[in-house]
Amino acid sequence: MKRIELILEDGSSYQGFSFGAKRSTSGEVVFNTGMVGYCETLTDPSYRGQILVFTYPLVGNYGVPKEEMEFGVLKNFESSRIHVSALVVSDYSFSPSHWNAAKSLSDWLKEQNVPGMYGVDTRALTKKLREKGTMLGKVIFEEEVDFFDPNVEKMVELVSTGEPIIYNTGRNTKIIVIDCGLKFNILRSLLKRGCTVIRVPFDYDFFDLSFDAVVVSNGPGNPKMCPEVIERLKKCFEEGIPTFGICLGNQLMALAAGAKTYKLKYGHRSQNQPCLELGTKRCFITSQNHGYAVEARTLPSDWEPWFVNANDGTNEGIRHIRKPFWAVQFHPEHSPGPRDTEFLFDLFLGEIRK
């Protein structure tokens, strides 16, 4: 097997073996502690520009499923392509076994021109990222490459739809979804609840369209790099349009309200993050993928924190105290992960259908 190397910006290096595409690449090195769902994770647009390290040791054992459609989008994936810059694992399974497997993970990575490396001490690598924080890195196969920092680029431009797309035409409840790097299960969650969904580019002026509410999707990068979305959300607030934000959408709504965001030391990327709903005794296990958070103490007086992370106390959701504006930092659409908070779509739609 061909040797491959991961070099971090502090000069440390990790040796491994190549699978997937045979090429070099670079990005921000992050880790995910989820145990399942690598197909959904790799196709999550929020990972654009990042080198992903899985802490679960065995990856590839169930292969990659067939491409099937549901509600007009791919059923078993969160977008139409892999978005990670590279994949780093401890043990890669060369013999996948699953009734729905159409190809191996390595073959899929080759098709998408994404390099992978296995045989890495991912425990040691994850400990370093937890202690030092996320770092830039580069995966060197043969040719040398420069470090790439996705936090100083407008990454949403690379993952947003290029033009409006309408799903489920003719249903009574019409939802604008601002695509900042949309996961398909957000679409599915709205469509299976009988909505017409109008998916628009992140910089699209949608106010001339007919709609009942707005959803702001997840996406990659620094929320402050999305001034177009922030300005449109301010207008939504001014006009009292029901608005629901997810992940990056939570941060963008906070910025539009006048609050601040900041970069987390190593982020939350997993399917096992416990979140407390403030004012109740309820704790939900959530799926998460974010490197930035809302600074809750900077929220204006007419907004309040809604959820907090039980592990580190960081903000996991905000809401307006009177108007129909809500947002969560975690992923109520899950995929992969627990379904504990999918009811939030029902709460949102219940409010706008009154």
pLDDT of 171 reads 78
pLDDT in tens, 93-143: 999 999 999 999 999 999 999 999 999 999 999 999 999 999 999 999 999
pLDDT of 169 reads 82
Segment 279-305 mean pLDDT: 98
pLDDT of 1 reads 73
Among 304, 307, 175, 186, which Cα is nearest to 241's? 175
Average predicted confidence (pLDDT) for the chain: 97
pLDDT of 170 reads 77
Active site residues: 247, 331, 333
What does DSSP say about strands 165-167 and 195-201: parallel, antiparallel, or unpaired? antiparallel
Compute the chain's Rg from CA coordinates: 20
- Show the domains of the chain with their CATH numbers: 3-152 (3.50.30.20), 156-352 (3.40.50.880)
**Confidence check: pLDDT of 204 > 90:** yes
**Confidence check: pLDDT of 184 > 90:** yes
Q: How confident is the model at residue 222 (pLDDT cuts 50, 70, 90)?
A: very high
pLDDT of 160 reads 98
Contact 93, 61 (CB under 8 A): yes
**Confidence check: pLDDT of 172 > 90:** no
Segment 198-217 mean pLDDT: 98
Alpha carbon distance, N-terminus to C-terminus of the chain: 61
Segment 69-97 mean pLDDT: 96
Segment 15-20 mean pLDDT: 97
Segment 340-348 mean pLDDT: 97
